[in-house]
Structure 1
Amino acid sequence: MPVPPSPKERIILAAEALFAEHGLDGASLRQISAAAGSANNTAVQYHFGTKEQLIKAIFEYRLPYLHERRDLLAAQHRPDDLRSWVECYVLPILEQGEQEGSHYLGFVANLHSHGSREVFAQFAPSYLASSKAFQERFRSFLEHVPEPLRTHRISQAIAFAVHAAADRERARAQGQEVLPFAAHVADLLDGLTGFLTAPVSPAALAASKDVGVGAMGWLLVP
């Protein structure tokens, strides 16, 4: 018999769903408490303190599995080309969107759109190191793409994967017809690999001249 979720877990799942549907500013802590089935309007504050800490708790709830799955794929397949590395990084994200009751990708996409960079600075160093290691491998296959365009491409590819997964997650939740998962994954990987490896045009080189990597902002950590 499955163990029922704890009050804290119910709040995390309710917050994830409401943030995915309404955005970070569209759901109040009181609404989250009610959606979690709590009669106490201050349940979120009691368990988490602030909205920022609740957002961090959602990541702490989801990230361990995602990173373990990513490392397992890399260990199993020992990828030695860009597409395979992208698959090991992206597949766990896409799989998460297939989980019943998950709204994680919609939540991450809204957080990205919101521009809440500061929450990522609170992650455990192991999470940041794992994502950075994968992204450094991406870089090693893109030596023909000079900076800052290389960093920009990687950032945009990860963001696109997250938003594509979020769109599919929402469509499935609404009962809409979607591509079979295997076709969705293969086609997305083809598109991301093509985008990352595309030749750099003279126009892009000229437009990015004298632009520092720091101007690229921040890489999404899903």
Structure 2
Amino acid sequence: MVSISVSTSSTKTEIIRAAERLFAQHGIDGVSLRQIGAEAGNGNKSAVQYHFGTKERLLQAICEHRLPDIHERRRMLVARHRPRDLRSLVECHLLPLLEQGEREGGRYLTFVSMLRHHNRQDVFARLPEEYQASTREFGERVAALLPHLLEPLRAHRIGQVVSFGVEAASDRERARVNGYPVVPFALHVADLLDGLIGFLRAPASPAALAALEDAEPGTTWLPYL
């Protein structure tokens, strides 16, 4: 798997930031490379194509621009708290993502939400192995604390928790950008974790178990975020 090296040059950084904003505002398919170049203040109509080649590589570059900070923050939280219980594990994984939505001028969470809505999960699958391995480790540690759930229901719930967290945070990010009132960040995080942990711990209902028996074997997908 080839990682895209994002240059520290101002041109590439401005293109990435402009692309993140425009994709968040208009969707993945609603923005051209030329529009991104214009938003970045580049008079060269081919600048984006020159630096990134294709829209697919630009989408990956946006993720790789944000992920190092997210994963470093996760490492710091894990080293500080040494999480063993379910809530601490989920908090150490999700909090760095939720914090992205509080950055002035950033639209990363809405961008990620757009990737999901446009069925572009392939972007996550092309990210460097270190990020994918970290996500797999998180899923395995959480799964070990959910022995009351059968597979694939257990893996499905873990994936849903990450997706729910991203969607809730992107809703908050959009509200902040548009000037709508939001609750304090600490309350937002605590209340969201309450709901997500309750979802993970909830026993499977008879209806869910019956549906599980009828389900065909398949794979579940955990977002590499």
Quickly name the TM-score band, shorter chain normalised.
over 0.9
TM-score of the pair, normalised by structure 1: 0.95
CA contact (8 A) 2:94 2:165 kept: yes
TM-score of the pair, normalised by structure 2: 0.94
Separation in structure 2 between the aligned mates of residue 161 and residue 212 of structure 1, nearest angstrom: 28
* Correspondence for 2:106 among 84, 87, 102: 102
Question: Identity over the aligned pairs, expressed in percent?
Answer: 60
**1:122 corresponds to:** 126
* Correspondence for 1:90 among 78, 90, 94: 94
Separation in structure 1 between the aligned mates of residue 113 and residue 191 of structure 2, nearest angstrom: 20
Q: Which 4+ stretches in 1 moved above 6 angstroms?
A: none
Q: Secondary structure at the match of 1:99?
A: coil
Deviations for 1:94-135, whole angstroms, at most 9, x for unmatched residues? 111001111000000110111112222221110100111111
* Correspondence for 1:168 among 166, 172, 177: 172
**1:36 corresponds to:** 40
Separation in structure 1 between the aligned mates of residue 138 and residue 216 of structure 2, nearest angstrom: 22
**2:4 corresponds to:** none
CA contact (8 A) 2:86 2:145 kept: yes
CA contact (8 A) 1:112 1:220 kept: no
CA separation of 1:167/1:38 partners in 2, compared to 1, >3 Å: closer, same or farther?
same
Shift of 1:220: 1.6
**1:73 corresponds to:** 77
Shift of 1:214: 2.8
Shift of 1:213: 5.7
* Correspondence for 1:45 among 28, 49, 67: 49
Separation in structure 1 between the aligned mates of residue 207 and residue 46 of structure 2, nearest angstrom: 55
Give 1:59's aligned amino acid: C
* Correspondence for 2:25 among 21, 32, 37: 21
Shift of 1:8: 0.4
Q: Which 5+ residue runs of structure 2 have no aligned equivalent?
A: 1-7
Q: Secondary structure at the match of 2:213?
A: coil
CA contact (8 A) 1:151 1:213 kept: no
Give 2:84's aligned amino acid: D
Give 2:222's aligned amino acid: L
CA contact (8 A) 2:139 2:155 kept: no
**1:6 corresponds to:** 10
**2:222 corresponds to:** 219
Q: CA RMSD in A?
A: 1.3
